[in-house]
Amino acid sequence: MTTETQNRRKPPRPAERILRWIYPDGTGLYTYLGDIEEAFNEKFENRGVIYANIWYWSVVLVSLPSFLTSTIFGSAAMVKNYLKILYRNILKQKLYSIINITGLAIGITCCIFILAYLNYELSYDRYHENSDNIYRVCSTGNFGGTDFVNSTSNPIVGMALFDDIPEVVNYTRIQRTARMPVRFGEKRFYISRIFYADQSFLDIFSFRMIKGDRTTALTDPNTVVITEDMAARYFGDEDPLNKVIEIADNSYFTVTGVIQNVPENSHFLFTMLLSFETQISQNPQMFTKATPNWGRWTNYTYILLEEGYDYRQLDLKINDWAQQFVGPIKDQANIIITFFLQPLTSIHLNSDLRRELRVNGSIGYIYAFALTAAFILLIACINFMNLSTARSSKRAREVGMRKVFGAYKRQLIAQFLGESFLYTLISLVLAMIMIELLEPLIKVNFNSNISVNYTEIPVLAGGVAFILIFVGFFAGSYPAFFLSKFNSINVLKGNLNTGARHSSFRKILVTSQFAISICLIVGTGIILNQVKYMKNIDLGFNKEQLLILPASGSSPLIIETAKNEMLNIPGVIKAAKSNVVPGRRPPGYGVFPEGHEGTSAFMMEQINIEPDFLDTYQMEIAEGRGFSEEMITDTSTAFLVNETAVEQFGWTDPIGKKINSFGREYTVIGVLKDFHQQSLHYRIEGTLFRYFPHSSRFRGLPYGYITLKVSTENITGTMQKIEDKYRELYPDREYSYFFLDENYDMQYAAEDKLSQVIELFTGLAIFIGCLGLFGLASFTAQQRTREIGIRKVLGSTISEVTILLYREFIILIVIAVTIAWPLTYFFMNGWIQSFAYQSMIGISVFIFGALLAVLIALVTVSYQSIKAAMTNPVDTLRYE
């Protein structure tokens, strides 16, 4: 026999493994395996390999079910009996069954949705082939003692890293631009998210190129790669390649490629990529290592590291390496610049630096959601355990009989665990049906990207399996071990004392349920409070009735004309131009204020405004005066500053003080009261205000927005007139606008969503908890019917009996409150610290949360308690 035929005569391996598991080596049983293999060999000789294999499998599979059931339940025949008893129990106690199953089903539904959401949040930027080896180079600038941690860096850093460090395989730079008008033929729209990008952008990131050559698309100046959406918008069915589009005024770009739309789960979204070469060709010396421009920190730099190289090694040495560049800056301007790396895949959840490309998610919210999901599942499990143990007295006789007839303890455990698994399975099926029904609703209301597709998302399938096993085991374990321990003689004598010993366990469970519910209620209250606080705080300006017309990319004169035309419309009360509007971070510059010459520069934000701006926004002047059209020097050498800036400079008498910016000297003419340029997540920054003349030579700068204060009367008519006027003035431009208050409040979208979701989950958690409580209350009442009957015969009133029943639960709630309060305070205080401006966590929200829990509990318990208290004692005592 050759070795080959010997090999082929081996029975199928997985099947053999199953048999070896049933008949393990080393026991006397292993000879059986030989018997079967011998028969297999005979079949092989006579009937061929396929027949023999099928035969072997059939031998294994036929024996498996009865082997399994007899191992687990002791005897296969008993399983039928267990199922029958379970079925009868479900029918006999419909209320408990429904409570158990729906409670669990709701819990599982929440869990699966949260799992799907978490999976989506964790999927950010992972679709790139190299996602694990891409890092963003970020920078920290220390200006006058304050750290500015930027997601951006200097344009030469990536290049220099690539040249000096062998492990850096590639680098690319991105620079974003303001919203700009883009024209092709008749079509002219304002397009946002236009990026400048190096050719290597296409090499490092794995966006799919649909048309064009991905190896050369961005090598030449004035080339552009556009997304599918843009291609469809501008070119329809035409081939976009080699067409020329106009971006802003008089800049022309040739379309060299069409790229897939950027998936929503990315930390940056772009619509067009202009070649970085365009910038380099306009200003070459700015982008060489020999003559770097250290005023420029607006590039996002990404590097591709060698596979398997630990980025932390580079992170450790990067600042020593960078001394050659940043050392001189420290010597000259006393600005300490450092660099650090961020893994691409961690940006979405872990990065909240200045100038992020997009509002990122937050790992804290991920934990919050996960915790809530766990809580809800826990509450549902506790229900199950509670009701099962409570009902155990009903099953006690069954257990006793089974024991008398010779049931092993492990058989009983298996029976009750099996029941628990079946309950879980039924709940799971119900949950999946609910998910199918609710999915569209979730997509509309929360996040359209949440997908519950078990086959596509392995985490989800795994999660479902885990829930089934975990809930089945966890929820069933206590009843199983508890019931199987009954002493059969006592049980059959009717001497069952389930109350005393095990009610303490039930009480612990109910207490923890309450504690969780109170945590959730109070937590929700605190979140809502903070959101309300942020939305209602005095921002330092009036954000109502302000309509914003974006106008970036147009010359100052055009914007000025537009503004003046708008002012002629009757409903428009005031109008002003600015470079940013509240809700957006202004650009920042380093300046040298009086008294700090020759030291480190101060990083200040700069807002360009005109005299009417302060009136339009109803901002207040603390000292000095605002800009004036009459004063000719106001447009050349004057600054307004805010109070924070004055404080940072350490000035006591700010008016007339000098500020040196880019080598020019400016005089402070007034101090503005602090206002919240950005959401309350951020501190108010030191800010300078400049007034540019209408005839400014800058293009695009200095003004990008026109703010119109509109009267409340006939607002729709006014808006229509504004639109008509705009279209009349600029027939070839797309009209767009937004209201400042809505836009400003969008900064709180994450908190809004959080509070919405937590509110929903809190509601559900409380509902599930109530289901359990209701079941438990009805059980307790039932247990004590005889006691109640006797009490009533002896003269108790209905209210006394009701209070008696309430008391038990009230004590539990009090304990729960004392546990829940400090816990909630600890967690929520941590959350609220993430805001620069925090609402007070008042005592009232804690009291309210506890009272609400008590109230809900009492209402839930009331029905059963009052019913029990009102029963005629004759009915309950008759059977004695």
Partner 1 sequence: MKLLSRSEELLINAIMKLKDNAYCNPIRDTLKEVTGKTWAFGAIFTSLDRLEKKGLIESYLGEATPERGGRKKRYYRITPEGFRELEEIRKIDKAMWGSLPDYSYQK
List interacting residues with partner 1 (CB under 8 A).
Answer: 1, 6, 9-11, 28, 30-39, 41-42, 59, 62-63, 66
Nearer to partner 1, 10 or 727 (CB): 10
For the CB of residue 206, give the shortest distance to partner 1 in the complex, in Å: 50
Would you say the C-alpha torsion 606, 612, 614, 618 has a positive or negative sign?
Answer: negative
Nearer to partner 1, 35 or 653 (CB): 35
Nearer to partner 1, 39 or 269 (CB): 39
Nearer to partner 1, 66 or 714 (CB): 66
Nearer to partner 1, 38 or 724 (CB): 38
For the CB of residue 78, give the shortest distance to partner 1 in the complex, in Å: 17
For the CB of residue 35, give the shortest distance to partner 1 in the complex, in Å: 4
For the CB of residue 405, give the shortest distance to partner 1 in the complex, in Å: 22
Q: Is 334:142 a contact under the CB 8 Å cutoff?
A: no
For the CB of residue 408, give the shortest distance to partner 1 in the complex, in Å: 19
For the CB of residue 73, give the shortest distance to partner 1 in the complex, in Å: 17
SS3 837: coil
The whole-angstrom separation of Cα 196 and Cα 546 is: 32
Nearer to partner 1, 25 or 456 (CB): 25
What is the 3 state secondary structure string of 79-119? HHHHHHHHHHHHHHCHHHHHHHHHHHHHHHHHHHHHHHHHH
Q: Spell out the residues 6+ positions from residue 430 whose beta carbon is closer than 8 angstroms to its own.
A: 101, 102, 105
SS3 138: strand
| Residue 416 token pair | 């009750």
The whole-angstrom separation of Cα 797 and Cα 335 is: 81
Angle separating helix axes 715-729 and 556-567, nearest 10 degrees: 140
For the CB of residue 47, give the shortest distance to partner 1 in the complex, in Å: 14
For the CB of residue 415, give the shortest distance to partner 1 in the complex, in Å: 24
Compute the CA torsion angle 59, 64, 65, 66 (nearest 10 deg): 90
The whole-angstrom separation of Cα 400 and Cα 492 is: 6
For the CB of residue 775, give the shortest distance to partner 1 in the complex, in Å: 45
Nearer to partner 1, 34 or 295 (CB): 34
> Got the DSSP string for 194-229?
EEEE-THHHHHS-PPEEEE-TTTTTTSTTEEEEEHH
Nearer to partner 1, 12 or 499 (CB): 12
Nearer to partner 1, 9 or 330 (CB): 9
DSSP state of 833: T
The whole-angstrom separation of Cα 672 and Cα 377 is: 53
DSSP state of 161: H
Nearer to partner 1, 67 or 767 (CB): 67
Q: Is 190:730 a contact under the CB 8 Å cutoff?
A: no
Nearer to partner 1, 34 or 763 (CB): 34
For the CB of residue 1, give the shortest distance to partner 1 in the complex, in Å: 8
Q: Specify the residue for token string 């099962």.
A: 388
Q: Is 498:799 a contact under the CB 8 Å cutoff?
A: no
For the CB of residue 5, give the shortest distance to partner 1 in the complex, in Å: 11
Q: Is 730:559 a contact under the CB 8 Å cutoff?
A: no
Which runs of consecutive H residues, i.e. helices, occur in 446-497?
458-484, 488-492
For the CB of residue 28, give the shortest distance to partner 1 in the complex, in Å: 8
For the CB of residue 827, give the shortest distance to partner 1 in the complex, in Å: 58
Q: Is 593:650 a contact under the CB 8 Å cutoff?
A: no
Nearer to partner 1, 3 or 695 (CB): 3
Q: Spell out the residues 6+ positions from residue 498 whose beta carbon is closer than 8 angstroms to its own.
A: 389, 392, 393, 396
Q: What is the largest CA-CA distance in the chain?
A: 111
What separation in angstroms does the CA of 599 have from each of 18, 145, 448, 493? 78, 11, 51, 93
Nearer to partner 1, 12 or 873 (CB): 12
Q: Which amino acid is at 730?
A: Y
For the CB of residue 52, give the shortest distance to partner 1 in the complex, in Å: 12
Q: Which amino acid is at 850?
A: A
What is the 3 state secondary structure string of 536-570? HCCCCCCCCCEEEEECCCCCHHHHHHHHHHHHCCC
For the CB of residue 757, give the shortest distance to partner 1 in the complex, in Å: 55
Nearer to partner 1, 28 or 663 (CB): 28
Q: Is 541:619 a contact under the CB 8 Å cutoff?
A: yes
Residues pairing with 577 in the sheet: 706
Nearer to partner 1, 34 or 284 (CB): 34
What separation in angstroms does the CA of 446 have from each of 442, 561, 753? 5, 42, 7
Strand 664-672 relative to strand 638-642: parallel, antiparallel, unpaired?
parallel
Q: Is 707:578 a contact under the CB 8 Å cutoff?
A: yes
Q: Specify the residue for token string 């390999």.
A: 49
